[in-house]
Amino acid sequence: MTPASSLTWAGLVAGVGVLGFVGALLSRTLTPALEIRRYGEDVVAAIDAIAANTNAGAELLRTRDLALTVPALARRLTGEEL
C-alpha cells in the first residue's frame, strides 16, 4: 500500500467519524427544537381558543345591561318596591 492510499483511507475513516459526530450533534439539537415547536403549536391553539371565548364580550355586556333592567320592570309590573 502506498503512502498516498494510506492517507486516503485514513482521511475517509476520519471523515466518517466526523460525519457520525456531526449527525449526533444534529440529533441532540433537532430533538429539543422539534419539542419546542410542538409546545409552540399547543400555545397557539390555546390562545386561539381563549380568543374565541372572549369574542362574545359585546353579547355579555348586553345581557348584563338587560339583567340590570329586570328589577325596575318587576317593580313597575307589581307596583311594589323590591
Give pTM, 2 decimals: 0.50
pLDDT band at residue 81 under the 50/70/90 scheme: low
Residue 44, pLDDT score: 96
**In which band, very low, low, confident or very high, does the pLDDT at 23 lie, cut at 50, 70 and 90?**
very high
pLDDT band at 53 (very low <50, low <70, confident <90, very high): confident
**How far is Cα 65 from Cα 67, in angstroms, rounded to an integer?**
5
User: What whole-number distance in Å separates Cα of residue 2 and Cα of residue 8?
Assistant: 10
Confidence of residue 2 (pLDDT cuts 50, 70, 90): confident
Q: How far apart are CA 55 and CA 42, in angstroms?
A: 20
State in Å, rounded, how far the first CA of the chain is from the last one: 109
Q: Which residues of 15-27 are buried (b: 16+ CB within 10 A; e: fewer)?
A: eeeeeeeeeeeee
**Residue 76 confidence (pLDDT):** 87
| Mean pLDDT across 26-38 | 95
